[in-house]
Chains A and B, each alone.
Chain A
Amino acid sequence: MSAIGTSMNAGAASSWPRMFGIALLLALFAFVIFGPLANLFLWAFAEKWYFPSKLPQEFGFTFWARVFAPRGNALASLGTSIWIALLTVLMSLIVAIPAGYALARLRLRWRSLILLAFLLPQAVPNLPVYVNIARVFYEIGLNGTILGVVLVHAAHGLVLAVWIASAAFASVDVSLEEAARNIGASPWTCFRTVTLPLAAPGLIASAIFVFLESLDEFTGTYFVGVPDVTTLPLLMFNASMGGNYQIASITALLLLVPSIAFMLVVERFLKADVLAMVGR
Chain B
Amino acid sequence: MTPYLSIESLNVGYGNTRVLNEVSLDVARGELVALLGSSGCGKTTLLRSIAGFVTPESGAIKVDGRDIARLPPEKRGTAMMFQSYALWPHMSVEDNIGYGLKMRSWKKDAIAKRVGEMLTLLQLVGFGPRSVMQLSGGQRQRVALGRALAVDPQLLLLDEPMSNLDYKVRIELRHELRALQRRIGITAVYVTHDREEALTLADRIAVIDAGRVVQYGPPEEIFHRPTSAFVAGFMGADNAIDVMRLPNGSLTADQVGGEKLRAHFRSDVAWITTERSASGDDDLRLAGTVTQAIYVGQGYRYRVRTNGADIWANAEERMPEGAVVSVVVPRAALLVFSAATSTRH
Binding site for B on A (CB under 8 A): 173, 175-176, 178-187, 189, 193-194, 197-198
Contact with B89, one of A175, A185, A198 (Cβ below 8 angstroms)? A198
Shortest Cβ distance from residue A269 to the other chain B in the assembled complex, whole angstroms: 14
Contact with B103, one of A173, A175, A184 (Cβ below 8 angstroms)? A184
* A183-B79, A183-B99 known; A178+B86 contact, CB < 8 A: yes
Tell me if B107 is interfacial: C-beta within 8 Å of chain A: no
Cross-chain contact A197 with B84 (CB below 8 angstroms): no
Tell me if B78 is interfacial: C-beta within 8 Å of chain A: yes
Cross-chain contact B84 with A173 (CB below 8 angstroms): yes
Shortest Cβ distance from residue A55 to the other chain B in the assembled complex, whole angstroms: 54
Shortest Cβ distance from residue B107 to the other chain A in the assembled complex, whole angstroms: 16
Cross-chain contact A182 with B104 (CB below 8 angstroms): no
A73 to B193, CA, bound (A): 73
Cross-chain contact B82 with A189 (CB below 8 angstroms): no
Cross-chain contact A185 with B74 (CB below 8 angstroms): yes
Shortest Cβ distance from B105 into A: residue: A184
Shortest Cβ distance from A178 into B: residue: B53
Tell me if B41 is interfacial: C-beta within 8 Å of chain A: no
Cross-chain contact A183 with B84 (CB below 8 angstroms): no
Shortest Cβ distance from residue A216 to the other chain B in the assembled complex, whole angstroms: 33
Cross-chain contact B82 with A178 (CB below 8 angstroms): yes
A184 to B104, CA, bound (A): 7
Cross-chain contact A176 with B88 (CB below 8 angstroms): yes
Shortest Cβ distance from B48 into A: residue: A178
Within 8 A of A (CB), among B74-101: 74, 78-80, 82, 84, 86-90, 99-100
Q: B14-53 toward A: CB 8 Å interface, digit per residue (1/0)? A: 0000000000000000000000000000000000000111
Shortest Cβ distance from residue B282 to the other chain A in the assembled complex, whole angstroms: 53
Between-chain CB contacts (< 8 Å), 8 pairs: A179-B80, A179-B86, A179-B88, A181-B52, A181-B73, A184-B100, A184-B103, A198-B88
Tell me if B148 is interfacial: C-beta within 8 Å of chain A: yes
A209 to B81, CA, bound (A): 39
Contact with B79, one of A175, A176, A182 (Cβ below 8 angstroms)? A182
Cross-chain contact A185 with B90 (CB below 8 angstroms): no
Contact with B73, one of A176, A182, A189 (Cβ below 8 angstroms)? A182
Chain A residues lying within 8 Å of B147, measured Cβ to Cβ, are 179, 183
* A175-B82, A189-B103 known; A181+B74 contact, CB < 8 A: yes
Shortest Cβ distance from residue B111 to the other chain A in the assembled complex, whole angstroms: 13
Contacts beyond the supplied A184-B100, A193-B99: 8 A-B pairs with Cβ under 8 Å: A176-B88, A178-B86, A181-B53, A181-B72, A182-B78, A182-B80, A187-B72, A194-B88
Chain A residues lying within 8 Å of B151, measured Cβ to Cβ, are 183-184
Chain A residues lying within 8 Å of B79, measured Cβ to Cβ, are 182-183
Shortest Cβ distance from B83 into A: residue: A175
Shortest Cβ distance from residue A274 to the other chain B in the assembled complex, whole angstroms: 14
